[in-house]
Amino acid sequence: MLVLCCLPQVLLERIIAKAGLKAWPKLFVNLRASRATELVEHFPGHVAAKWLGHSEAVANEHYRQTTAEHYARVAAEPTEGRAQMRSERPRKRSNRLEVDEHRA
């Protein structure tokens, strides 16, 4: 019989050990980071951060992760349009060119 007399982390580690598995390091930190990453995929960042009790800056720095799905999505998207959009942007002229034009 399972007795709920422990901290949640200790209890979860016992359950994992009883199942014959090994808990990964920083169990609850990693669970929190995974959930922060999942929430921001479906809700605005400020909402996800508020629900988890921290700011977006803290979430970006410590919790949100780049997933294999992110890499798969970017690899599947065509890049041709992006390159074309970059080449169509007007280029910023350097100060040196502007100075040279004024001398002429």
Q: How many domains does the chain have?
A: 1
Give the count of beta carbons closer than 10 Å to the beta carbon of residue 26. Answer: 11
Name, in order, each residue with C-beta under 8 angstroms of 4's C-beta and a sequence gap of 6 or more: 11
- Would you say residue 102 lies in a domain? no
- Would you say residue 62 lies in a domain? yes
**Residue 99 pLDDT > 70, yes or no?**
no
Q: What band does 53 get if pLDDT is binned at 50, 70 and 90? A: very high
Of the segments 22-31, 37-46, 82-91, which one has the largest average pLDDT value?
37-46
- Would you say residue 60 lies in a domain? yes
Specify whether the CB–CB gap between 35 and 52 falls below 8 A.
Answer: yes
pLDDT of 33: 92
pTM of the predicted model, to two decimals? 0.58
- Would you say residue 23 lies in a domain? no
- Would you say residue 96 lies in a domain? no
- Would you say residue 99 lies in a domain? no
Instruction: Compute the distance between CA of residue 43 and CA of residue 38 in angstroms, rounded to an integer.
Output: 9
Q: Which amino acid is at 69?
A: E
Q: Which residue range is the domain that position 56 belongs to?
A: 28-86
**Residue 61 pLDDT > 50, yes or no?**
yes
